[in-house]
Copies of this chain bind each other. A is one copy, B any other.
Amino acid sequence: MEKKIKIGLLGFGTVGTGVVRVFQENRHEISRKAGAQIEIGYVLVRDINKQRTYTDGLQLTDDINDILKDKEIDIVIELMGGMHPAREYMLRAMEAGKSVVTANKDVVARCGKELFAMAEEHDVDFMFEASVGGGIPIITPLKQCLTANRITEVMGIVNGTTNYMLTKMTQGGSDYGAVLKEAQNKGYAEADPSADVEGLDAARKAAILASIAFNTRICLDDVSIEGITHITPADIEYATELGYVIKLLAIARESPDKGVNVRVHPTFLPKDHPLAAVSDVFNAIFIQGNAIGEAMFYGRGAGSLPTASAVVADVVDVVRDIVNHTFGRIRCTCYEKKKICPIEETVSAYYVRLLVEDQPGVLGTIATVFGAQGVSLNSVIQTRRVDDCAEIVAITHSVAHKKIEKAVSVLRGLAVVTEIRNIIRVENGQGAV
């Protein structure tokens, strides 16, 4: 209990403040578990004159060298966000012999290999539990608790903003614009919400999750991305009526022949799927492994204290390594080079909503086109009149991406088809890549 470990904290925003609070409020418990006293040496901020709370006993600096050159600092926590200079500071910290803990999904998704190589070279730890799922333990469980499994599927609700928006659209029937404004007012969505609503944030997390689950490096470029901006109250209503909920899912699957496919898109998810009950800003990651079967990890995917929970747990792990001289027990786990399966070669069920001319026989015409293109239908319903047209909703069985594309393009060319209003993938539990 005598040993003292000093930390340098880069960034003092929402999560940084959370980390300081957690160290203050749970000091006793944390020291006990870590086996050493932990003390925040410096906090790197952009403006040292800015008014802040929770600064008691903290030394602020705007010079990274105060931290990098302080030989007493063993651990650097990076919470600045963004690529630069976060990446460079982390690399320089490791060069200086300091272990690094980060919540930065952007840098981890893009520079994981480089960071792990640096950590190995300098025999320090590099940890990033908080980069996916906020407070939810998922990186450590994947690297340590599911090692007996060949993982076949990772499916996650990993963006709280869009999950909040879709939940509100489902509960209240509001449209996309209204719920976006509501999310912005509550601080769940940023002024420029594009990284969230267009799926980029989820895609970064998907790349990290898939890399660890399948032990191969998945880059952001390997992830197909589709956001929620085209989801309308009508789609939500049909989903409800047909026994589904619409969720923005990050899905990563591996099949022995096709390789690894990773994608982010809105999905019709059956109401009884464990992920279907994950509402509001909550996140959850659902995993299929050939030994464990199904497992799910649920919790708060963002926020000051939940994210700090993951950051500080990583720090405790590093301190245990310092105290016990056990660095590098688990390093980069991307052991293999695996084939990436592009989205064009995947198989899925689909929901297709079309506006057609309201005349006898149209339903048959549509069904015939699907059939001719090899798309087998699970159900077709003609539902309501919109202006002078009729709306038709079709749910297909699992079908190759190319076939659905071809069928939709033929449908578009039909005189009776006024508009293809939406196409959304349907999870039917077959788990095919």
A287-313 CB mask vs B (1 if < 8 Å, else 0) is 001111111111110010110111111
Determine the chain B residues whose CB is within 8 A of the CB of A29 once the complex forms: 147, 149-150, 215
Q: Is the CB of B299 within 8 A of A148?
A: no
Given A147-B33, A277-B277, A320-B330, A295-B299 contact (CB < 8 Å) = yes
Q: Is the CB of A274 within 8 A of B292?
A: no
Determine the chain B residues whose CB is within 8 A of the CB of A149 once the complex forms: 26, 29, 309
Question: Interface with B: A235-243, A321-329, A389-397, A414-422, which one?
Answer: A321-329
Please, how many angstroms separate the alpha-carbon atoms of A328 and B326 in the complex? Answer: 10
Q: Is the CB of B144 within 8 A of A317?
A: yes
Determine the chain B residues whose CB is within 8 A of the CB of A140 once the complex forms: 140-141, 144-145
Determine the chain B residues whose CB is within 8 A of the CB of A412 once the complex forms: none
Please, how many angstroms separate the alpha-carbon atoms of A330 and B274 in the complex? Answer: 32
Where the two chains meet, the residues of A that have a C-beta atom closer than 8 Å to any C-beta of B are 18, 22, 25-26, 29-30, 32-34, 129, 135-137, 140-141, 144-150, 215, 274, 277, 289-300, 303, 305-306, 308-313, 315-317, 320-321, 324, 326, 328-330, 333, 335
Please, how many angstroms separate the alpha-carbon atoms of A297 and B296 in the complex? Answer: 6
Determine the chain B residues whose CB is within 8 A of the CB of A292 once the complex forms: 135, 299-300, 305-306, 309-310
Please, how many angstroms separate the alpha-carbon atoms of A375 and B298 in the complex? Answer: 36
Q: Which residue among A32, A148, A300 has the maximum number of chain B CB atoms within 10 Å of its CB?
A: A148
- Closest chain-B Cβ to A298's Cβ sits at a distance in Å of 4
Q: Is the CB of A148 within 8 A of B313?
A: yes
Q: Is the CB of B324 within 8 A of A305?
A: no
Q: Is the CB of A291 within 8 A of B277?
A: no
Please, how many angstroms separate the alpha-carbon atoms of A33 and B29 in the complex? Answer: 31
Q: Is the CB of A33 within 8 A of B333?
A: yes
Q: Is the CB of B147 within 8 A of A293?
A: no
Q: Which residue among A26, A293, A295 has the maximum number of chain B CB atoms within 10 Å of its CB?
A: A295
Q: Is the CB of A303 within 8 A of B313?
A: no
Q: Is the CB of A137 within 8 A of B147?
A: no
Q: What are the 6 A-B residue pairs with the smallest beta carbon separation, nearest first? A: A137-B145, A148-B312, A295-B299, A291-B309, A326-B326, A296-B298
Determine the chain B residues whose CB is within 8 A of the CB of A215 once the complex forms: 29, 32-33
- Closest chain-B Cβ to A3's Cβ sits at a distance in Å of 15
